[in-house]
Amino acid sequence: MADEFRWHQLCVAMDTIQDTDSAVSAYINHEFPSDTGEKYLRIYGILQGLFLEQDALVELIHAIRPVKNIQPKDLLTAVLIDIRGVRNKSVGHPVKVGYKTFSTHAIVQHSMRKDGFELMSYPKQKDEIFQSIRVLELIEQQRTETHRILSEVVEDLRTREEAHRAQFRGTKLMQIFDHASYAFEKIFEDLRRESIPRMGRWGIDCLRETLTDFEKHLQARGLSIDSYASIKYLYEDCISYPLTELRKFLRGETSEIASKKGAIVFANALQSHFDELRQIAREIDDEYASEPEPVTRPILRDGQSEIQLIVTTIREPGT
């Protein structure tokens, strides 16, 4: 999630897989039209939908494991590549297909039906060829392969997640805040007495070190303060300003804090926000202490597979 574009790319890929499967279900469940133009729309739509779903599957894998210069053929199985070929010949680039050896293709109009159609092909150096395209079979093949690939992706993620959690399970982020309470105690003592501030300055430095240590521990886990919107908000909008102004005030430098009463108000707000940050650290510790959710395998209904995207809720700490 720290890589914002890649995170959105992953979300869009997942949405596209779900949306295209919804379109595929509509093709299966609705009556095939009798109007010729509507028939073409259905055939064009279903094959393009399968193509889009494959592209989304490839990009989903790219988002999770970025690899440069890799093509769909490197990630998709022979079955899915064949389906892409049918789409390209029928509704993708029917007038001219190929790189060195070319061919042209046309759907036999009167053959269009729900379960498929006849494809007439004219290879440049061969006689014409007729091929029976079984659309419902293509759908079933793609759903089966998509199930298998998504299950393998999720299993891989679960394995990596468990290894990651195990690596840091013994390191508690909560412990980073152990000295924060004592630091605030010394800050308030200095603000409520008339003598020159002494330990309050140490308290401010202790809080700054706590924030630095917390950020370092997040980075060790491959995270950052930007990985969680709640942590980023606390750091940038709630903690940075009062901490800076309190430090200036206690050091006798020019500050926007006009009096010790005002400084106490700043310190109270700062302590409240540190408590929120400590609670988030506790929730992250609890998450690392838990086991990843089990992988849910694809199900079969009435002999046909049905795609179910089982997505773990990404819960923002503090919510």
**Tens-place pLDDT, residues 92-117:** 999 998 877 889 999 999 999 999 99
Q: Is residue 308 part of a domain?
A: no
C-beta separation of 168 from 221 below 8 A: yes
Tell whether 140 and 179 lie within a shared domain: no
pLDDT score of 79: 92
The answer to whether residue 318 sits within a structural domain is no
* 12 and 137 share one domain: yes
Do residue 189 and residue 271 come from a single domain? yes
What's the rounded mean pLDDT across residues 284-293? 86
Cα–Cα distance for residue pair 164/96, rounded to 1 Å: 49
Q: Are residues 21 and 122 in the same domain?
A: yes
Q: How many domains does the chain have?
A: 2
pLDDT at 303: 40
Q: Residue 2: which pLDDT band, with cuts at 50, 70 and 90? A: low
Q: Does 60 reside within a domain?
A: yes
Domain co-membership, 55 together with 103: yes
* Together in a domain, 273 and 251: yes
Residue 274 lies in a domain: yes
Does residue 298 fall inside a structural domain? no
Q: Which of 131, 163, 195 is the last residue of a domain?
A: 163
Q: Which one of 163, 184, 218 terminates a domain? A: 163
Which helix (H) or strand (E) segment is 305 a member of?
strand 304-306
Site of tokens 């992706």: 153
Whether the per-residue pLDDT at 26 is higher than 90: the answer is yes
Q: Considering the domain boundaries, does residue 307 fall inside one? A: no
Give residue 72's Cα distance to chain centre.
20
Q: Are residues 276 and 223 in the same domain?
A: yes
Same-domain pairing of 179 and 207: yes
Split at pLDDT 50, 70, 90, the class of 305 is very low
**Same domain membership, residue 216 and residue 80:** no
Between 306 and 16, whose confidence is greater? 16
Quote the mean pLDDT of the chain.
Answer: 88
Same domain, 57 and 112: yes
pLDDT score for 124: 81
So what's the pLDDT on residue 193?
A: 81
Mean pLDDT along residues 53-74: 82
Examine the domain organization and report whether 92 and 180 are in the same domain. no
Residue 285's DSSP bridge partners are none
Any domain includes 234: yes
Cα–Cα distances in angstroms (integers) from residue 199 to residues 77, 112, 182, 188, 193, in the given order: 67, 84, 10, 10, 12
Answer left, alpha or beta for residue 256, where phi above 0 means left and psi between -120 and 50 means alpha: alpha
Q: Which of 163, 187, 204 is the last residue of a domain?
A: 163
Do 229 and 117 fall within a single domain? no
Question: In this structure, is residue 319 part of a structural domain?
Answer: no
pLDDT confidence of residue 302: 47
Q: Span 75-83, mean pLDDT?
A: 90
Burial 49-76 (b: 16+ CB within 10 A, else e): bbbbbbbbbbbbbbbeeeeeeeebeebb
What is residue 313's predicted lDDT score, i.e. its pLDDT? Answer: 40
Higher per-residue pLDDT: 96 or 311: 96
pLDDT at position 65 is: 81
Residue 162 has pLDDT above 60, yes or no: yes
Task: Label residue 280 by pLDDT band (50, 70, 90).
Answer: very high
The pLDDT assigned to 315 comes to 46
- Determine the Cα–Cα distance for residues 276 and 270; give it in Å rounded to an integer: 10
Whether the predicted pLDDT of 314 surpasses 60:
no
| Per-residue pLDDT at 300 exceeds 60 | no
Domain that holds residue 132: 4-163
Q: What is the pLDDT of residues 228-251, one digit of tens each?
A: 889 999 999 999 999 999 999 999
